[in-house]
A and B are shown apart, each in its own frame.
Chain A
Amino acid sequence: MIPAAFDYVRPTAIDEAVSALAAAGEDAKVLAGGQSLIPVLRMRLAYPTTLVDVGKIAELRGVRDDGDAIVIGSMTTHRDVMHDPLVREHAPVIAQATATVADAQVRHLGTFGGSLAHADPAGDLPAVALALDCEFVANGPGGVRRIAAADFFSDYLTTTLSPDEILTAVRVPKLGAGWSSHYEKFNRVAQAWAIVGVAALVRRDNGAIAEARIGLTNMGSTPMRASATESALAGAEPTAAAVGAAAELAANGTSPPSDLSGQADYREHLAKVLTRRAVLAAAAR
């Protein structure tokens, strides 16, 4: 299949990109790595009038240390994120989850920011970003804005970015001492989206779990936190029984889809099993 025709601009700086996006009107789209957008265009499921290609804006790439956080440029590719020493040190769950995204070729072009802005609840990174309490940095005509992860994902394939804003970076708070993490993904074939995924962050104190944060992939129209499980884990021993009991609450408040990959009740069941496994794996690290 061949995309419908569109105009194409390729700014080389963030300001230029913001202006170009404003000038192109409401049916313009930002082209990041293109690994979700181009297949959508090929299937003619979208007809943007203009693509603003931010791929040649150098300042959008790379990871830097910013004190209590690391800052990942939105156009940093999955491959670069996976291998980045700052990511591996301060947010290893991002590296682990990114390694499960699609396949090697897609990870060479697909970007961290592109995946998050695409906001597919079946994508692996939104739930991870939510669990990490990341902050999203957006540039628009009105300047720079920071959005908390909890406020970023608003609906299926929808974020609170306005159409004239560009996601430029994601601030990932550094996990302090005592934290460990695990991403547990369950899919039908290696290439497929997660039926359910669970990102678990655990802080241990004197052996017990002091604090836990759990992000759920594909359990609703946005990534979600398993809040009830998080509360139940506070102070729990990292045993299969205790964690399992807390994980029984993992699907509380979720509204998973029913589709070819699984009915909602199966997803609810998986969320519990995978949460138990993810938390135990995190606690064992």
Chain B
Amino acid sequence: MTATGERPAAEIGQSRRRKEDAHLITGRTTWTDNLTLPGMLHLAILRSPMAHARITSIDTSAAKQRPGVIGVFSGQDFKDVQGDVPCAWPVTEDIVIPPAPPLAVAQVNFAGDAVAVVAARSKAEAVDALEAIEIEYDPLPPVLDMEEALKEGAPLVHESTGTNHSYTWAFDSGEAGSGGSIDEALAGAEVTVKRRFIQQRLVPAFMEPRSTVVQPIGEGVTVWSATQIPHVLRVLLALSLGIPEHKIRVVAPDVGGGFGGKIIVTPEEFITTLVARRLGKPCKWTESRSESIMAAHHGRDQIQDLTITATRDGTITGLDVHLYADMGAYLRLLTPGVPTLGAFMFNGIYKIPAYRFTCEGVFTTKTPTDAYRGAGRPEATYGIERIMDELAAELGMDPLELRRRNWIKHEEFPFTTVSGLTYDSGNYEAATDRALELIGWDELGKEQAERRSRNDPVQLGLGISTYTEMCGLAPSRILAALRYAAGGWEHASVRMLPTGKVELVTGSTAHGQGHETAFSQIVADHLGVPFEDVEVIHGDTQAVPRGMDTYGSRSLVLGGTAIVQATDKLVAKARRLAAHMLEANEDDLEFADGKFGVRGVPDSSMGLGDIAFAAFSAHDLPEGMDPTLEAESTFDPSTFSFPHGTHLCAVEVDTETGRTNIRKYVCVDDVGTPINPLIVEGQVHGGVTQGIAQALFEEAVYDEAGNLTTGTFVDYTPPSAADLPSYTTDRTETPSTTNPLGVKGVGEAGTIASTPAVINAIVDALRPMGVNDIRMPATPERVWRAIHGARGGGDRAAGGTVAYGGASTSTLDGGTS
């Protein structure tokens, strides 16, 4: 695609077109579901149609007789060997972690829980045979509403735990010494604003449905899976199923998006492994979309109770946050930890003297929750950015002025916040000023006033979101303090091949981010080799022995830093060899553009390629030197990185129908030094869109019996191109001071910022009509009801997250005819 040629002066900062594209735009892809192995069997999983029930009998005999069927298994068949789907984040010492068998044994706890699996010669035969499995259920009451679930005498999701309460995780700045007493702030407040915000349940909805292929080999297995975490999966397959770790190879081939949705070890990975080993045949499981929406983990789902206090002049004096976080039926890999990440982000970019954060994890009979793009931070940003607008309204102050009065000023960095994190850098003033200029804020304000004065049925609303996020997850020592089971480091190794080409082996496995391109740019600059000469190897535990995988906007901050460190080591080794070959002192060598030269000796020069070949031939190496030119490094950060930015949204709200139309969306993000501006912008685009989708379009809805009524893309509605505007994006660049690249991470920024910008804009449009909140997604009906003071404004419906106070579900209607 791009010819080998002269290197630009610096690769970093260039909008290189992606290396990844070549096979993706031509259909030469390696999605897990594309894989076929000789003798491979196809699996289909039978899922519980009930939210909560005891299994009284399972009869698989008829299914076993169906054509093409090789095996049918239920939880009974694996109950002694299947272990539990692991949770790696027991956030408190006394957390309740219920059993989580991959295949239900005695009880199902959400509609979609796996109860049996068929292995057949074709997928069609496997699916056919599911209909011949007979299961009798003894229904138990569904547990849908978190507050009801915590009441005395409420039905229990898991009888054995004796409670629906998983944990309470708390932080208090007064106790921690990072700030004052929240009780004093509340008692002495001049102004107090309390709000309840609902973070609706979302479906990550990665485009590639999950898929796993397992090939049993001797006592080991090779596992191909659509996962963000091949390395973590390998460790946990070993720990949970007792397969020796060195006998397990995990491959994440092309992975079609994750957004946190592929961050866990799944029951289906366990089930596929168990069946493949039991039958001694390679097995493939690929989910359908409706199966994915029902059974793959969901995100968000919190009730947020916020109290903010301030002086009359608009200086914040305290923030008290209480969350109920819906765990769903089980604790998956990170489930309990996700909402607790909010603890560090509710204070946002503001100087808040006193702060308390309390999070209660609650079990319900719904699909388990876990990470979804942003994971705890979008929820927190939503809460603080929404209540800033409510406080401004209460004070009669411009919401922008309120933010300016309370945010950390550029000259105050580094700044240690009330939740105890030290922000290294930032320039909120610059990003905000640029965003205001780009959107034409003052003009829009005039138009808003004009539309208000003539009572236009289409009102204009202006929304602000000034955010920061903690990225580069995460320092291992902090993870230890948060009781996360693993570390947060990342690994890289770099090797020069004898012909001067370079292989970079990274533990940052990719699923659409563009790692191969961005990492090649870093290597090219640090080794002085052409971009095209770098091959990036990732996503296979046999080729990449160490890695912590990809989530939490960590790949560039951690993986990138590990690469820089490894290339530095490689250059150091090359320097020794070059000095030996040039018969010069190491200190007299200069390294530039991939070549060593002896200072002051113009014609003396030796390229890395020559040095690599010399290392390979090993004819004349310094005493004790290995015959290789490679180096590796592991980076464990000392702190997080803190991207920030200002997002502004202008909406037109048709007050007659309730429809919201985004007229303009402007974002100015500061993600530090961009390695590849084109990729950065693309990440912002996608992130902003997912945040807008939360604000306007998406919600996982359960009916009163606990059935997911938004079970297909007909009812769960990610927006199409026709539902969205073009965005205006820009950047300020304030390099991070805590890593050599100055990068901060960009994968989650847009999602974190955009949701409150949109909702603040809608509320701004309607505030003169007495509206001070809109439940998400702000559907036309909800907006209309809010205007008319009817249902749909604030409170959560009693029967769970039933969206509209009604529980009916239409049959399949696909917008097709």
Contacts and interface: CB of A to CB of B under 8 A. Distances in A.
Interface of A: 1-2, 4-5, 35-36, 39-40, 43, 45, 101-103, 106, 110, 114-115, 118, 120, 122-123, 125, 186, 188-193, 195, 257-263, 266, 269-270, 273-274
28 contacts: A4-B128, A36-B814, A36-B817, A43-B290, A43-B812, A45-B811, A106-B816, A106-B817, A114-B817, A118-B817, A122-B813, A125-B817, A188-B779, A189-B722, A190-B722, A190-B723, A192-B714, A195-B780, A257-B808, A259-B806, A260-B701, A260-B715, A260-B808, A260-B810, A261-B781, A262-B780, A262-B804, A273-B657
Interface string B785-817: 100000000000000000111101111111111
B697 A188 contact: yes
A259 B714 CA distance: 13
B817 A266 contact: no
The list of the 5 closest CB pairs from A to B, nearest first, reads A190-B722, A115-B817, A35-B816, A191-B815, A258-B806
A262 B781 contact: yes
Nearest to B811: A45
Contact of A266 (B714, B719, B784, B813): B784
Nearest to A112: B817
Contacts of A40: 812
B815 A263 contact: no
B817 A259 contact: no
A15 to B, nearest CB: 26
Given A4-B128, A118-B817, A190-B723, A259 B812 contact: no
Contacts of B659: 186
Interface string B618-635: 000000000000000000
B290 A1 contact: yes
A118 B812 CA distance: 13
A120 B813 contact: yes
B799 to A, nearest CB: 14
A263 B802 CA distance: 13
Contacts of A123: 817
B815 A260 contact: no
Contact of A260 (B657, B710, B784): B710
Interface residues of B, number: 41
Given A260-B804, A273-B657, 18 more contacts: A1-B127, A1-B290, A4-B128, A39-B816, A40-B812, A43-B290, A45-B811, A45-B812, A102-B815, A102-B817, A106-B816, A115-B817, A125-B817, A189-B717, A190-B722, A262-B781, A263-B806, A269-B784
Nearest to A98: B817
A270 B810 CA distance: 19
Interface string B684-711: 0000000000000100010000000110
A191 B720 contact: yes
Interface of B: 123-124, 127-128, 131, 288, 290, 656-657, 659, 697, 701, 709-710, 712, 714-715, 717, 719-720, 722-723, 779-781, 784-785, 803-806, 808-817
By CB atoms of chain B within 10 A, which of A188, A273, A274 has the most? A188
A2 B124 CA distance: 6
Given A189-B697, A260-B809, A273 B656 contact: yes
A190 B709 CA distance: 20
A257 B808 CA distance: 9
Contacts of A186: 657, 659, 780
Given A2-B123, A2-B124, A189-B697, A257 B720 contact: no
A258 B808 contact: yes
Nearest to A156: B811
A193 B815 contact: yes
B657 A192 contact: no
By CB atoms of chain A within 10 A, which of B290, B715, B810, B814 has the most? B814
Contacts of B717: 188-189, 191-192
Nearest to A274: B657
B701 A192 contact: no
Contact of B128 (A5, A118, A258, A273): A5
A258 B813 CA distance: 15
Contact of A110 (B128, B714, B781, B817): B817
B172 to A, nearest CB: 41
A153 to B, nearest CB: 14
A251 to B, nearest CB: 14
Majority SS of interface residues in chain B? loop
A102 B816 contact: yes
A78 to B, nearest CB: 8
Nearest to A42: B288
A257 to B, nearest CB: 7
A257 B717 CA distance: 20
Contacts of B131: 4
Nearest to A119: B817
B710 to A, nearest CB: 7
A36 B816 contact: yes
B662 to A, nearest CB: 13
A260 B709 contact: yes
Given A189-B723, A260-B715, A263-B806, A101 B290 contact: no
A205 to B, nearest CB: 29
Contacts of B812: 39-40, 43, 45
A35 B812 CA distance: 12
A115 B815 CA distance: 11
B816 A110 contact: yes
Contact of B803 (A2, A5, A260): A260
Contacts of A192: 714, 717, 815
Nearest to B124: A2
Nearest to B122: A2
A42 to B, nearest CB: 8
Nearest to B712: A43
Contacts of B290: 1, 43
A263 B805 contact: yes
A121 to B, nearest CB: 10
A272 B656 CA distance: 10
Nearest to B701: A260
Given A45-B812, A186-B657, A258-B808, A35 B817 contact: yes
B21 to A, nearest CB: 24
Contacts of A263: 781, 804-806
A102 B714 CA distance: 11
Contacts of B709: 260
A2 B815 CA distance: 20
Nearest to B703: A260
A159 B139 CA distance: 38
B656 A39 contact: no
Contacts of B779: 188
Contacts of A258: 804, 806, 808
A122 B811 CA distance: 12
Contacts of B784: 266, 269
Contacts of A106: 815-817
A191 B723 CA distance: 9
Contacts of B723: 189-190
Contacts of A269: 784
A195 B697 CA distance: 14
Nearest to A194: B815
Contacts of B785: 266
Contacts of B123: 2
Contacts of B127: 1-2
B705 to A, nearest CB: 15
Nearest to A32: B817
